[in-house]
Amino acid sequence: MASLSLRLPENVAGDFFVDSTCIDCDACRQIAPETFTDAGDASIVHHQPATADETKKALMALVACPTGSIGTREHHDAHIGIDAYPSRIAENVYFCGFTAESSFGAWSYLIVRPESEGGNVLIDSPRFATQLVKKINDMGGVSTMFLTHRDDVADHVRFAREFKCERVMHADDGAERLGIERVLRGTETVSLDQDLLAIPVPGHTRGHVLLLYRRKFLFTGDHLAWSPTRETLTAFRSACWYSWAEQTRSMERLLDNYGEWNFEWVLPGHGRIHHDTAENMRRHLERCIDWMKTR
């Protein structure tokens, strides 16, 4: 819970505030940009919510904050934020909220599908919160948990135990040590079912894997995200834990196979979500690779 005594002085006066425990994960700035902004190494409140919708988004950010660094002076009904998750992004794809500090606030997603199509898929692990678990259970539970890489596994054990789901992860990121049920190997793509394709992309970590759903939604972990500053797709040079050269080659492989692996959505664990036409996404991917080669 945020502490008023630790309130950052850069916050504007008023109800909502961010305290000094903020780890600058960017979640609140994505969820409620009208209220939160970047102050260098932390988020702050730059505008107090002025409408019911702005208040709801600020409360969603409060609930999602992995370190409980967002607080309020006034009393609010926390369920306004809690009940908003999982939050629909598009079609049957949802953002889970409740980010975990152990994953540095990485975003996790839920694909809601009928059992006839293989059931629901949880991509990376959110924080294990009873309110979220109940909501996911009401939406059909989890049949498969896809873990893109070792950084964002968070509370995967508790979710697997709760939903008795099969976890999928690459061997090169320690899947066997973590007790993962379905272990991927090598760099060949793996069709998990007719709508889900696992694409190994070593680079950020040795065993990083993307998940492509319906050749439309690309869940990218820490491999690929949208840069609002550069207004194109980007990778994270300063947070490449294995090999930048390998990550660049993985990106080129993604482009070389774009006719088969095209996508319209990029849904990262860190960085910004983006939606565009498949053709524009290809152009952004080309720009990203050109930029990576200069780093």
Indicate the domain borders of the chain. Answer: 4-81, 85-292
Asked if 37 and 51 count as a contact pair (C-beta separation under 8 A), the reply is no
pLDDT digits (tens, 9 = 90+) for 51-62: 999 999 999 999
CA distance 6 to 202: 40
Q: List residues bridging with 80 in a β-sheet.
A: none
| Dihedral-angle region of residue 36 (phi above 0 means left; psi in -120 to 50 means alpha; beta otherwise) | beta
Distance of CA 50 to CAs 56, 81, 176, 218, 232, Å? 11, 16, 50, 35, 31
Residues of the chain with pLDDT under 70: none
The pLDDT value recorded for residue 1 is: 83
Report the topology of domain 4-81: Alpha-Beta Plaits (3.30.70)
CATH superfamily, region 85-292: Ribonuclease Z/Hydroxyacylglutathione hydrolase-like (3.60.15.10)
Q: List residues bridging with 232 in a β-sheet.
A: 227
Q: Single out the residue of 76, 54, 56 nearest to residue 2, CA to CA.
A: 76
CA distance 147 to 248: 21
Model's pTM, two decimal places? Answer: 0.97
The pLDDT value recorded for residue 114 is: 96
The pLDDT value recorded for residue 138 is: 98
CA distance 140 to 160: 14
